[in-house]
Amino acid sequence: MGIEKLTDKQQKQEKIVEMFDNIAETYDLANRVLSMGIDIQWRKKGCDKAFEILKKKELEQITDVATGTGDLLIYWKEQAQKNGIEIEKYVGIDPSVGMLEVAKKKVDFANFIEGKAQELPIGNQSTNVISISYGIRNVVDRVEALQEFHRALKPGGIVVILEFTKQDRSGLIDKVVDFGMKKVLPRIGGLISKNYEAYKYLPDSIEEFLTTEMLSQELEEAGFEMKYTKSFSMGISTLLVAQKI
C-alpha cells in the first residue's frame, strides 16, 4: 500500500514538472500580466524581511528553491545591494529543465541546479537563506521539503515563503476575488501560454492547499520559529518568514 501511494505521489509530481516545462517560455509574461506587476513588491518585501532578521552585512549563500525562471534571485541581488549586504553565492534549484533554461539566459550571476525541494542538491548547513515563491504548493512531499530546508540552512538561517494560501471566502469582495481566480485567470493565462490546463491548475491547487495557519504549524513542526506573516491583496498571496531554531 505504501509503495502504491509513493508511486502516485511521484506521478503527480512528474505531471506538475512537465506542466511547468510546457509553459516556461511564456511564464514571465503571464505572471506580469496576471499580477499586474504587484508580485514584485511582495517578493522584495520577503527579501528585506530576511535581511532585517539576519542582521548581517555578509552572507555566504542564498538558495532559491523552485526558482522557475530565476525571478526572485534578481530581487535578492537588488535588495542586497540596496541594503549594503554582500552575498558570496546565489543558487537556484528547480526540477523543471525548461524553466532552468530560461533562468540561465536571464540571470548570469547565479548557479542553477536541477533538483527537487524534498531532495535539495546542497550540503548540510550550507546556506543562510532558502526562499521559495509560489512553489511550495506544487511540492507533493511538502513536509519532507520543509525538513530539507531545515537541514540545508545554517543555524539561525531564514526560510522565506511566498504562496497562494487557502482562504475562507464568504464576503462580496471575496466572491469577486474568487471569480477572478477561477474564471478570469485561467482564460488569460491560457491565452498567453496556449495552455489553459496549466492555469486552471493554479486556482484548483490553491483550493487543495493549506491555510496560512496550517503552513505556519508545519514550519514550526519542522524546527522553525515563525518571525513574520503578512497577507497581500485581500489575502490572495501570503508571505511567511521563519528562522531555523
Residues in the annotated binding site for S-adenosyl-L-methionine: 69, 94, 133
Which parts are annotated binding residues? 69, 94, 133
45 and 110 Cβ atoms separated by less than 8 Å: no
The residues, any chain, with a CB within 8 Å of residue 203's CB and separated by 6 or more, are: 181, 182, 185, 186
